[in-house]
Amino acid sequence: AKYVYDFTEGNKDLKDLLGGKGANLAEMTRLGLPVPPGFTITTDACRAYLLTGSEPATLHDEVSAHLDALERRMGRRLGRGDDPLLVSVRSGAKFSMPGMMDTVLNIGLSDESVSALAAQAGDERFAWDSYRRLIQMFGRTVLGIQGDRFEERIDAARAAAGVATDVELTADQLKDLVRDFKEIVVAATGRAFPQDPREQMDLAIRAVFASWNGERAGLYRRQERIPHDLGTAVSVCAMVFGNLGPDSGTGVAFTRDPASGHQGVYGDYLPNAQGEDVVAGIRNTVPLAELERLDPASYAELLRIMEVLENHYLDLCDIEFTIERGRLWMLQTRVGKRTAAAAFRIAVQLLDQGLIDEREALRRVSGGQLAQLMFPRFTTESAPEPIATGIAASPGAAVGAAVFDSATAVARAAAGERVILVRRETNPDDLDGMIAAQGILTSRGGKTSHAAVVARGMGKTCVCGAEELTVDVAARRLTTADGTVVTEGDVISIDGSVGRVYAGEVAVVPSSVVEYFEGTAAPDSDDLVSAVHRLMTLADRERHLGVRANADTAEDAARARRFGAEGVGLCRTEHMFLGERRELVERLILAESEGERSAALDALLPLQRGDFTELFEAMDGLPVTVRLLDPPLHEFLPDLTELSVRVALDHDERDTHLLTAVRRLHEQNPMLGLRGVRLGLVVPGLFTMQVRAIAEAAARRRAAGGNPRPEIMIPLVGTVQELEIVRDEAEAVIAEVERAHDVSLSIPLGTMIELPRAALTAGQIAESADFFSFGTNDLTQTVWGFSRDDVEASFFTAYLEKGIFGVSPFETIDADGVGSLVRAAVTAGRAARPDLKLGVCGEHGGDPESVHFFHEVGLDYVSCSPFRIPVARLEAGRAAT
């Protein structure tokens, strides 16, 4: 196997093998852009290392061959001679994991080569600064020494020298720091800092491999649903230096604003610094526009390259670059992460620029992003004066108690509190706190700081670089410019769309995107809404899947309709049995004679009829699938324990009677017990009452000039015999209503497919069903044998942590297991009855990934909750492109 690729050999499509960084370095090399030479070690080599604990046998020689070639090309040798070559060793997985894995710069420096570098660069200070960076980074990432130990020494050196920043330390002070750093290494590892350049390189490569399995990398992958078995590639690249003086520097740039999506030049620049300084948010950067003044030639070159990259990648690119004494070098590019709003705006811009076509524009946005745009935002009218402003790093409105460290954020969030994580700056160790928090606030760092990049990736609200704030983590408080103090636990509100921080809780209003869906904001009311409108229009044009709503009330149905629902795919009738009607249900259950039972049913009938009439009116002209009663009857009765206590205390006769019924109906596994069609078969008159209510409601609506289109759905069917019995009874009732009202109602009768047996015998069931609706909640429950009400709270966390699945199968359809039953039932059902209508009404109907699956297996529609309707429409459109 080939484990090493020169930058001249790869290309952007080899991300699996070369990681995003390696593949894009190769692509930029091919484009003739100024990339320092180097090579990439493949993810295959990393996976082999992680599996066996050692590198593949041939890797050493392959690396030697590529290193020789690199040395020949550069005319310099790694860490040797008058002009020593130095390299960076960088991690880079298929999916970007900002700051989660390791990177080591300045490999090749040693006690010997540091002097050669100093002489060559004519800059002693620079050489010693680079050496101390190497020992620090190597010590931390390769040797596993606590970063603080080095930071403390730097702080001490700065204090001793009476200077505020590292840049002001002199060569001699840096020499002392190197000496101290080497002592730290010996003290911590019992070994001297390795002087052999090749040994440094090999150890660094191994450390990068191993960092794939680091704790924070694992956590990040779980959060971002990145598979755990991909491994990382390692790029070895000739060093160029941004820390060679004021005509050098390093920066990050975006071809468009990743927060808003607006066009323009965005980024941060840090003169006289190495790359880590920018991303780590350690020093405050200057806006990229400043570079135009500092170094107009490099700035012009950078703009030219940004245009080349955009036209090549046809998307927003983010870039890391270094300027070495006036010469610009590209160190990385990738299609950049962006906020949801930016994604919608950019897709439409690129479409209008003619760079991408309509279908591609649809692929550039996602249902998850649309869902984010539907979150509420702060009201501008009622907002108080902000206590600070910072950079609008990741949009959204977040309210919570201020906490000052990651562990507290996790603990308080676990206790159900909403928190805002406040830090001076974040680093990868803050990841679990960031996940737990509603939002993140930092006092330092720019749009490309760790906090900003990671928050944007997670879709989490973030304000960074709020420099007026003094964050005192040890004292657990922050102080504003005018002396206001916020201590741990005080509620603050942060607005990541504009970068404002408020004391206390600020009220929120619906997003403009929701107002657009509601019809209260015009499609051209702002540029974001208009981008959403255009992409929704495209999605509706492309999609094959219909989108219906799970709605039980006329109000929900009406909203769903405004959001674009093309009918109701599931009306759960159980809510119609709750509240004040519970007593009628009790009477039904306790009935001891035929007369008592029909009296109870007669009382329920008009109430149900009223519910359905309203629902059919709200969805006039569109199908409404009404499901007959599903949950076990005990759900409508008092709790067994409570009732027993009550009876023991007051011996009330009615309660005693009730208790007998509760005991009789008590089940160990109610989910697998007397519910759904089983209930209909053993409680005489229950289902026929519901069918009558539906048919009579339809007849009334028809008489009132409406166009009701009810469909009746039987739940929890396992065998066609169950369906046949209910169906015969239902047909008789419908016929009776039709005669009585002199109308023809043609009400389709169908079933849910939510038990494995139903899916396995779908061919037989289809003979008696006009439609199927897959109940993937129960189907998931019964295929996996997972109690849907219990497992997510009990052992799913452990399963997710162990990587048994990347996401709960109740959230995203398990395509291999549950999905294969769905697929088989679709095939068998359609074979038996070609005109069989097929839908899904489990939670998965509104889940983006699952929508793609349902498109692919050829369902007619998905049904989901009203707020997910736009998401399902968009994803159905995307699935069809």
SS3 (DSSP) at 341: helix
Answer yes or no whether residue 775 interacts with Mg ion by CB under 5 A: yes
Choice between 145 and 841, CB closer to ligand PEP: 841
Choice between 652 and 789, CB closer to ligand PEP: 789
Choice between 493 and 850, CB closer to ligand PEP: 850
Choice between 55 and 722, CB closer to Mg ion: 722
Which region among 168-176, 200-208, 374-382, 773-781 touches ligand PEP (by CB under 6 A)?
773-781
Least Å distance, CB 30 to ligand PEP, is 50
Per-residue mark of binding to Mg ion, 734-763 (x: CB under 5 A)? --------------------x---------
556 binds, among Mg ion, ligand PEP, none (CB under 5 to 8 A by kind): none
Q: Provide CB contacts within 8 A for 697, sequence distance 6+.
A: 609, 610, 611, 612, 613, 615, 616, 708, 710
Which region among 32-40, 114-122, 770-778, 867-875 touches ligand PEP (by CB under 6 A)?
770-778
Size of the site for ligand PEP (CB under 6 A): 10
Answer yes or no whether residue 778 interacts with ligand PEP by CB under 6 A: yes
Report the alpha-carbon distance of residue 311 to residue 303 in Å, rounded: 12
Answer yes or no whether residue 632 interacts with ligand PEP by CB under 6 A: no
* Token pair of 264 as six digits: 């323009």
Answer yes or no whether residue 847 interacts with ligand PEP by CB under 6 A: no
SS (H, E, C) 703-730: HCCCCCEEEEEECCCCCHHHHHHHHHHH
Q: In degrees rounded to 5, what are phi and psi of residue 80?
A: -130, 155
Chain residues 735-754 in contact with ligand PEP, contact rule CB under 6 A? 754
* Token pair of 493 as six digits: 């509100």
Residue from 223, 777, 808, 827 in contact with ligand PEP (CB under 6 A): 777
Chain residues 544-583 in contact with ligand PEP, contact rule CB under 6 A? 570, 572
Measured CA to CA in angstroms, residue 282 lies from 129, 170, 427, 469, 624 at distances of: 16, 20, 10, 16, 58
- Please answer whether residues 128 and 178 qualify as being in contact, where contact means their C-beta atoms are separated by less than 8 angstroms: yes
Least Å distance, CB 96 to ligand PEP, is 36
Least Å distance, CB 723 to Mg ion, is 15
Answer yes or no whether residue 841 interacts with ligand PEP by CB under 6 A: yes
572 binds, among ligand PEP, Mg ion, none (CB under 5 to 8 A by kind): ligand PEP
66 is catalytic: no
DSSP state of 339: -
Residue from 130, 493, 511, 776 in contact with ligand PEP (CB under 6 A): 776
Report the alpha-carbon distance of residue 214 to residue 279 in Å, rounded: 19
* Token pair of 403 as six digits: 């906490």
Answer yes or no whether residue 632 interacts with Mg ion by CB under 5 A: no
Choice between 465 and 631, CB closer to ligand PEP: 631
Report the alpha-carbon distance of residue 96 to residue 89 in Å, rounded: 16
Pairing of strands 419-423, 397-403: parallel
Answer yes or no whether residue 552 interacts with Mg ion by CB under 5 A: no
SS (H, E, C) 46-95: HHHHHHHCCCCCCHHHHHHHHHHHHHHHHCCEECECCCCECEEEEEEECC
Residue from 320, 495, 630, 770 in contact with ligand PEP (CB under 6 A): 630
Least Å distance, CB 777 to Mg ion, is 5
Choice between 445 and 715, CB closer to ligand PEP: 715
DSSP state of 628: P
Which position among 66, 237, 317, 450 bears the catalytic label? 450
135 closest CA partner among 102, 81, 83, 177:
177
Compute the Cα dihedral for 185, 136, 67, 110 and give only its sign. Answer: negative
- Please answer whether residues 34 and 343 qualify as being in contact, where contact means their C-beta atoms are separated by less than 8 angstroms: no
Buried (b) or exposed (e) across 300-321, using 16+ Cβ within 10 A? Answer: ebbbebbeebbebbebbbbbbb
Choice between 261 and 842, CB closer to ligand PEP: 842
Choice between 495 and 778, CB closer to Mg ion: 778
Answer yes or no whether residue 129 interacts with Mg ion by CB under 5 A: no
Least Å distance, CB 842 to ligand PEP, is 3
Report the alpha-carbon distance of residue 455 to residue 753 in Å, rounded: 40
Instruction: Give me the count of residues in the chain.
Output: 881
Which position among 841, 844, 855, 864 bears the catalytic label? 841
685 binds, among Mg ion, ligand PEP, none (CB under 5 to 8 A by kind): none
Least Å distance, CB 775 to ligand PEP, is 3
Per-residue mark of binding to Mg ion, 778-807 (x: CB under 5 A)? x-----------------------------
Report the alpha-carbon distance of residue 610 to residue 208 in Å, rounded: 66
Q: In what order do the strands lie in the sheet with 4-6?
A: 4-6, 38-41, 232-238, 87-93, 103-107
450 is catalytic: yes
Choice between 361 and 752, CB closer to ligand PEP: 752
776 binds, among Mg ion, ligand PEP, none (CB under 5 to 8 A by kind): ligand PEP
Least Å distance, CB 833 to ligand PEP, is 22
* Cα angle for residues 18, 252, 298 (degrees, 5° grid): 105
Residue from 275, 718, 842, 877 in contact with ligand PEP (CB under 6 A): 842
Least Å distance, CB 136 to ligand PEP, is 55
Choice between 635 and 738, CB closer to Mg ion: 635
236 closest CA partner among 99, 49, 68:
68
Interface residues with Mg ion (CB under 5 A) are: 754, 775, 778
Interface residues with ligand PEP (CB under 6 A) are: 570, 572, 630, 754, 775-778, 841-842
Known catalytic residues are 450, 841
